[in-house]
Amino acid sequence: MTITTHSLISTFTPPHHTFNHHHHRHHQLKPPLKPRAQLSLTTPQPPTSQPTPTTTGVIVIGAGLSGLAAAVRLHADNIPFLLLEAADAVGGRVRTDTVDGFLLDRGFQIFITGYPEARKILDYKTLDLQKFYSGAKVYYGGRFHTVADPLRHFSDAIQSLTNPIGSVFDKSLIALTRVRVLTQSDEQLLSGEETSTISLLKRIGFSDSIVDRFFRPFFGGIFFDRELETTSRLFDFIFKCLALGDNTLPAKGISAIPEQLAAKLPSNSIILNSPVASVDNSDSIYTVTLKNGEVLQSEYGVIVAVEEPEAVKLLAGEWNMDNFCSEIKQPVRSTVCIYFSAERSQVPVDDPVLFINGSGRGIVNNMFFATNVAPSYGPPGKALVSVSLIGLYEDESDEDLRVRVVEELSSWFGPDVAGSWTYLKTYRVRFAQPNQCPPTDLRKNSKVGNGLYACGDYRTSATFDGALVSGREAAEALLKDRSLVRAS
């Protein structure tokens, strides 16, 4: 029996499990690709009276950015697939909740427009990207000091030359670092000589002042690692992307990014609320068993696009795998994000600027008024305050953290201001990013077994872009191995 993806899903899962798009599209097979095996989406004859497993071309497990990118690549070649996701929506770590009319991203995230893969796969215009100021305000010595990108805010940068955040020499080293990263390819930066970020900064000659007051809070906030032990390769890559693009937020929340990718896929190919329990391979048939006991099979293989700790649980021990390390580097990178609402009149600045803590004291690493960047993050007249800490603070309750944060920000902005904000919600993200301290391999091959591919940020750079690249590459490796690549 030949079945389409549409009928396949409807026999497999109740309609509420499927991803609902506004436009209902059906999967249509284009003319056969060359060279390729005749694609037969067939249901094998059941050996026993067991229910017949659903069969498709490829099964992708995990609908974060990497799984979505893999699915988009498969779909571009009309390969039938199912994308199985444990959660109730796509996005993985890139999700946004709507609470009382506020858009709350699950942890502070910035979309850098300079990401090379993102530029290719995303439609920036539709994302309606809202820009941050290119630079930051550093809290140090009881006041704020501006650090500005001289190419975008020249006069601010000149004025900031003499501030205490770093010497004039430090600021010239930033310009030299920019030239160094811009004159190398991404490939070179991601696979070149590496050390920790902190060692690189010292080797370049940056002073302790600029390291402690700017690099620790700024890049520590990106890596969730104030020690800056993260590989210099990631520092170089992100430094380059920052130089090439803007820091932004999509007007509809960070989840607009995965949602845009999901909207490119056939509406019934994404199956939500479907955690996978195991992946097996015998006689060249790949079997995926869901936690609810349902079984799916794929003809060409399986792409595992789950976060590293889940991938280790799902794969380690079961497969004789090349190129897959079952040891997770510790500590994994965690963060806490605390949201407050305010009247717009209770916000001390209008600038769409990131505030970072260069004082070396307190628990706040960075904060910003999200509605200054994207007014759509709050209902009319209201402001959204987003405060980020590095680490998980497991021993402290949400209430304790709230009190500490308000106290700390009262010294930044005055008790009348910070004391007037209303607490909204706390997000604790245990696995925000994998630990990417040296030695790293940020270009891991996606093939981990016969017909088995792994992708995700832990296999490349722990960024949106790294996840997107690794998903595409996993799909391409499968297409190549199965001779499904369209003849050019």
Q: Which residues bind ligand FAD (CB under 6 A)?
A: 61-67, 84-87, 92-94, 107-110, 275-276, 305-307, 310, 314, 335, 429, 432-433, 456-457, 462-464, 467
Nearer to ligand FAD, 213 or 472 (CB): 472
What is the C-alpha to C-alpha distance for residues 235 and 476, in angstroms, rounded to an integer? 27
Nearer to ligand FAD, 275 or 362 (CB): 275
Least spacing, CB of residue 402 vs ligand FAD, in Å: 18
Do residues 114 and 335 make contact, with C-beta atoms less than 8 angstroms apart?
Answer: no
Nearer to ligand FAD, 118 or 138 (CB): 118
What is the C-alpha to C-alpha distance for residues 325 and 312, in angstroms, rounded to an integer? 8
Least spacing, CB of residue 234 vs ligand FAD, in Å: 10
What is the C-alpha to C-alpha distance for residues 78 and 269, in angstroms, rounded to an integer? 12
Nearer to ligand FAD, 88 or 193 (CB): 88
Least spacing, CB of residue 261 vs ligand FAD, in Å: 11
Least spacing, CB of residue 310 vs ligand FAD, in Å: 4
Least spacing, CB of residue 325 vs ligand FAD, in Å: 16
User: Who's near 106: CB < 8 A, 6+ residues apart?
Assistant: 93, 94, 95, 96, 97, 337, 427, 429
Nearer to ligand FAD, 57 or 456 (CB): 456
Do residues 440 and 233 make contact, with C-beta atoms less than 8 angstroms apart?
Answer: yes
Least spacing, CB of residue 143 vs ligand FAD, in Å: 27
How many residues are recorded in the chain? 488
Do residues 476 and 73 make contact, with C-beta atoms less than 8 angstroms apart?
Answer: yes
What is the C-alpha to C-alpha distance for residues 237 and 182, in angstroms, rounded to an integer? 9
Number of other residues whose CB lies within 10 A of the CB of residue 248:
21
Nearer to ligand FAD, 173 or 276 (CB): 276
Nearer to ligand FAD, 177 or 460 (CB): 460
- Quickly tell me which residue has 């809070």 as its tokens: 217
The DSSP code sequence of 352-416 is: --EEEE-SS-SS--EEEEHHHH-GGGS-TTEEEEEEEEES--TTS-HHHHHHHHHHHHHHHH-HH
Least spacing, CB of residue 323 vs ligand FAD, in Å: 17
Least spacing, CB of residue 195 vs ligand FAD, in Å: 22
Q: Whose CA is closest to 29, among 488, 487, 476, 484? A: 484
Nearer to ligand FAD, 166 or 434 (CB): 434
Q: Whose CA is closest to 304, among 282, 277, 269, 331? A: 277
